[in-house]
Chain A
Amino acid sequence: MKRIVYLLPLALFFVLVGYFLISLRPGHDTHELPSAMLQKPAPSFDLADLGDDNKLALAGLKGHPVIVNFFASWCVPCRIEHPLLMRLSQQDHLPLYGVAYKDKPEDAARLLATYGDPFRQVGLDQDGRVGLDFGVYGVPETYVIDANGIIRKRFVGPLTAEAVEKDLMPLLKQLEPSS
Chain B
Amino acid sequence: MRTLILCMVLLLGALPAGAVEPRERLADPALEARARTISGELRCLVCQNESIDESGADLAHDIRILVRERLTAGDTDAQTIQAVVNRYGAFVLLKPPVEPATYVLWFGPPTLVLAGLVGTAIWLHRRQAAPADTAPLTSDESRRLAGLLRDNEG
Contact = CB atoms under 8 A, between A and B. Distances in A.
Q: Does chain A touch chain B in the assembled complex, meaning CB atoms less than 8 Å apart?
A: yes
Interface of A: 33-37, 102, 128, 132-135, 137-138
Given A137-B46, A137-B59, A138-B46, A33 B91 contact: yes
B86 A36 contact: yes
Contacts of A138: 46, 59
Contacts of A36: 85-90
A34 B59 CA distance: 17
A97 to B, nearest CB: 20
Contact of B87 (A34, A102, A128, A132): A132
A137 B87 CA distance: 10
Contacts, number: 32
A135 B46 contact: no
A135 B58 contact: no
Nearest to B87: A135
Nearest to B61: A128
Given A128-B62, A132-B62, A37 B45 contact: no
Rank and list the top 4 A-B pairs by shortest CB-CB distance, nearest first: A36-B89, A135-B87, A137-B45, A135-B88
A138 B89 CA distance: 15
Interface residues of B, number: 14
A132 B62 CA distance: 8
B62 A37 contact: no
A20 B63 CA distance: 33
A134 B87 contact: yes
A33 B59 contact: no
Interface string B73-107: 00000000000011111110000000000000000
Contacts of B88: 33, 36, 135, 137
Contacts of A35: 89
B87 A33 contact: no
B66 interface: yes
A33 B46 CA distance: 11
Given A33-B45, A128-B62, A138-B46, A133 B87 contact: yes
Contacts of B85: 36
Interface in B18-59: 45-46, 58-59
A36 B89 CA distance: 5
15 contacts: A33-B88, A33-B89, A33-B91, A36-B87, A36-B89, A37-B86, A132-B62, A133-B87, A134-B87, A135-B88, A137-B45, A137-B46, A137-B59, A137-B88, A138-B59
A132 B89 contact: no
A19 to B, nearest CB: 13
Contacts of B87: 36-37, 132-135
A35 B88 CA distance: 7
